[in-house]
Amino acid sequence: MHTDKICMLYTDSDQASKNIAACVLKNDFTENDNGLFEHSSGSIFLHKIDGPLLNVSEEALPKYDIFYFLSGHSSSAGVASMTVHAEGNWTNEALLGGKPMELSVATPTNMLNALLNMEKDKTDLEKTYEATHHGPLLTKPSCFIEIGGNLEVRNSIAYAELLSRIIMNTALQEECEFSKIAIGIGGTHYAMKFTKLAKEKGYAFSHMMPKHGLSANAEDNAIMLKQALERSVPKAEMAVIDWKSIKSQDRQDVVRMLNDWGVEYERV
């Protein structure tokens, strides 16, 4: 089991988040003196946030080691899915919480563990990493673990129960084995190629920068890729580039930066 103290965060303003938390609470939690629900193991906590999870201030959070945000997932295509991702904004906009051009600290081994636990589910739900997006901005390792894609799945008690089991398994297990800690560069919002590498080769991804996160300004890209490598516990040791998804000039700039920093990269 984890020695770190894990705090799961939810909000009543998101029905899916509320449902997942209600299912998590069935796992032998009791309310402690701080108003948090504490699992009998003593290392897993559940805490309610007032208002949207995307806008929470780190100062308002309890002082624990790792944070899992329990959340509903929205998809314009309506694809039913379970997803996991880190938080942050790649550009000079922060429309959904956080700060412009600031990434939170990712937790790649926990994200991989969540993804692999999702993969054990035999339903038709898609299981995937998402690229890093939206707030909040945290300096402690964190990730969003989500279910949804359409309202039927998002608000389903049965699917909330499914995800709650996955989340508890992730929190209660030892950190999973992995082959490499990596950042992902390129591809779409749903990071299918990086997800495949994680499932098949044990790559633990921290931040994933989609192709639309790349700026026309190479200096901005350098700032953000440096953050992606460093804002992770453990830190990323390499980069994986979704090669054909990125323009030739952007590829050249990215490869030059990685070479200058002495960072190994792999093409997919």
Mean pLDDT over the full length of the chain = 95
From 109, 230, 263, select the one nearest 178 (Cα to Cα).
Answer: 109
Phi, psi of 18 (to 5 degrees): -60, -45
CB contact at 8 A, 103 and 207? yes
Q: Residue 33: its pLDDT value, please?
A: 83
CATH of range 180-267; options 3.40.50.10700, 3.60.130.10, 3.40.50.1260, 3.40.50.620: 3.40.50.10700
Q: Residue 2: its pLDDT value, please?
A: 63
Measured CA to CA, the distance from residue 71 to residue 86 in angstroms comes to: 13
Radius of gyration over alpha carbons of the chain, in Å?
Answer: 18
Other CB atoms closer than 10 Å to residue 141's CB: what's the count? 25
Average confidence (pLDDT) over 222-234: 98
Residue 1's pLDDT band, with cuts at 50, 70 and 90, is low
**pLDDT at 132 exceeding the cut of 60:** yes
| DSSP 8-state symbol, 112 | H
Architecture of domain 6-172: 3-Layer(aba) Sandwich (3.40)
Average confidence (pLDDT) over 241-266: 97
CB under 8 Å to 254, separation ≥6 — which residues? Answer: 185, 214, 221, 225, 239, 241, 246
Q: Residue 28: its pLDDT value, please?
A: 93
**pLDDT at 215 exceeding the cut of 90:** yes
* Backbone CA torsion sign across 227, 228, 229, 231: positive
Measured CA to CA, the distance from residue 187 to residue 212 in angstroms comes to: 8
Residue 40's pLDDT band, with cuts at 50, 70 and 90, is confident
Average confidence (pLDDT) over 194-207: 98
From 245, 182, 208, 186, select the one nearest 128 (Cα to Cα).
Answer: 208
Q: Where in the chain is the domain with CATH 3.40.630.50?
A: 6-172
**pLDDT at 118 exceeding the cut of 60:** yes
Give the model confidence (pLDDT) of 180-195 as tens digits: 999 999 999 999 999 9
Give the model confidence (pLDDT) of 60-104 as tens digits: 999 999 999 999 998 878 899 999 999 999 999 999 999 999 999
Average confidence (pLDDT) over 211-234: 97
Return the amino acid letter for 243.
W
Measured CA to CA, the distance from residue 185 to residue 51 in angstroms comes to: 32
Cα 205 → chain centroid: 9
Cα 99 → chain centroid: 17
Q: Residue 172: its pLDDT value, please?
A: 92
Q: Among residues of the chain, what percentage have pLDDT more than 70?
A: 99
Give the model confidence (pLDDT) of 6-27 as tens digits: 999 999 999 999 999 999 999 9
Tokens 């994986």, residue located: 240
Q: Residue 131: its pLDDT value, please?
A: 98
At 174, list the tokens: 């030892």
Q: Where in the chain is the domain with CATH 3.40.50.10700?
A: 180-267
Q: Catalogue the E-assigned strands of the chain.
A: 6-11, 29-31, 37-39, 44-49, 66-73, 81-85, 88-89, 102-103, 126-129, 142-148, 180-185, 203-209, 238-241, 264-267
Average confidence (pLDDT) over 130-135: 98
